[in-house]
């Protein structure tokens, strides 16, 4: 079974409109969950993380994500897209049965149209 599923390989939005990047995970325990962003030919930067505290997590650059255990989801949102948000986004699970590994989803490429 896929450990982390990012439901959309590509998402396209207009500047100023909301962003929704979807992530579902599989875990028998309470995992740690992360969202990372990658600009072309660069390393990854942490946007936010969930580690069993508040279920609504706020990150950098106006992004936030909500942990929903009943739905095994950790979707990433932003109220208003900016051109600089165009990048690839990765949902990551760790802990529980994954131990010290960080397991990545396949990524979602976000395109922002002017």
Partner 1 sequence: DGGITQSPKYLFRKEGQNVTLSCEQNLNHDAMYWYRQDPGQGLRLIYYSQIVNDFQKGDIAEGYSVSREKKESFPLTVTSAQKNPTAFYLCASRWGHGVQNTEAFFGQGTRLTVV
Q: How far apart are CA 3 and CA 101, in angstroms?
A: 12
Q: How far apart are CA 84 and CA 60, in angstroms?
A: 13
Considering only 9, 17, 80, 84, the residue that binds partner 1 (CB under 8 A) is 9
Helix (H, G, I), strand (E, B) or coil at 28: coil
Q: How many CB atoms lie within 10 A of CB 27?
A: 19
Site for partner 1 contains 28 (CB under 8 A) = no
Site for partner 1 contains 104 (CB under 8 A) = yes
Contact predicate 84/76, CB 8 Å: no
Site for partner 1 contains 2 (CB under 8 A) = no
Tokens of 72: 């095994």
> Where does this chain touch partner 1 (CB under 8 A) — which range of 19-27, 42-50, 62-70, 71-79?
42-50
Binding residues with partner 1: total (CB under 8 A): 27
Residue 49 CB, shortest distance to partner 1, in Å, is 5
Site for partner 1 contains 100 (CB under 8 A) = yes
Q: How far apart are CA 104 and CA 2, in angstroms?
A: 10
Binding region for partner 1 (CB under 8 A) = 9, 32, 34, 36, 41-46, 49, 51-52, 90, 94-96, 98-107
């Amino acid at each position: 079974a896929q450990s982390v599923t990012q439901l959309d390989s590509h998402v396209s939005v207009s500047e100023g409109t909301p962003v929704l990047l979807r992530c579902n995970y599989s875990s028998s325990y309470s995992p740690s969950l992360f969202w990372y962003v990658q600009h072309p030919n660069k390393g990854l930067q942490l946007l936010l993380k969930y580690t069993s505290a508040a279920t609504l997590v706020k990150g950098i650059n106006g992004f936030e994500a909500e942990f929903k255990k009943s739905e095994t989801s950790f979707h990433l949102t932003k109220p208003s897209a900016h051109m600089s948000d165009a990048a690839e986004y990765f949902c990551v699970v760790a802990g529980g049965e994954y131990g010290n590994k960080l397991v990545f989803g396949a990524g979602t490429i976000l395109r922002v149209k002017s």
